[in-house]
Amino acid sequence: MFGFEILAKLFKILRSGSSPAQIAWGFNFGMIIGLTPLMSLHNLLILILVIIFNVNLSVVFFSLALFSGFAYLLDPIFHNFGYYLLTAPEFLQGFYTAIYNIPLIALSNFNNTVVIGSLVSSLLLLTPFFFGVKSFVVVYREKIDPKLEKLKIVKIVKSSKIYGFYEKIRDWRD
């Protein structure tokens, strides 16, 4: 039931009034929070951005849940990448040393291998994911959704008692 609800919610988001850019930003913000350690200073900043800007919150939570799973799997890679970033590039050492001693920035825990590894990785993924998700939403709305609506299985599901029951609950919750 939970999986079904998530899937339904995802389809609902894709068809909702939110613009593709709002959905894409929500997905990216969720991705950053999901991939990086939750209790980090930069995540507080992301949270503020999510609250201030009109991004789709449902997508943020969906993306956060999705990428939290990836974060567990990718943790050793983030550690290695972070270790490389913090130790290997000689030209960055001065920069790191300077910001290490700047109040508040030092509290960001950037000198932790997993924090910097995952943050830089998610920032690198930001642009392709933004345009990728945005394009997907446009394509989905224009081409995939109308086809899906015409599918027999969708019609059967929609006419089923379970879906009717689900809709009632959803309306009641809304």
Interface with another protein (CB under 8 A)? 37, 48, 51-54, 71-72, 75-76, 78-80, 82-83, 86-87, 93, 96-98, 100-104, 106-107, 109, 111-115, 117
In the complex, the smallest distance separating the C-beta of residue 152 from another protein, rounded to whole angstroms, is 40
CA 140 to chain centre: 18
Whichever of 76 and 132 has its CB closer to another protein, that residue is 76
Q: Which two tokens stand for residue 155?
A: 């019609």
In the complex, the smallest distance separating the C-beta of residue 124 from another protein, rounded to whole angstroms, is 18
Tokens 């990785």 appear where?
Answer: 121
Whichever of 96 and 163 has its CB closer to another protein, that residue is 96
> Taking each helix axis from N to C terminus, what angle separates 57-87 and 113-139, rounded to the nearest 10 degrees?
140
Buried b / exposed e across 40-61, counting CB within 10 Å, b at 16+?
Answer: bebbeebeeebeeeebbbbbbb
Whichever of 61 and 166 has its CB closer to another protein, that residue is 61
Q: Is there a contact between 36 and 115 (Cβ–Cβ < 8 Å)? A: yes
Whichever of 40 and 63 has its CB closer to another protein, that residue is 40
In the complex, the smallest distance separating the C-beta of residue 158 from another protein, rounded to whole angstroms, is 33
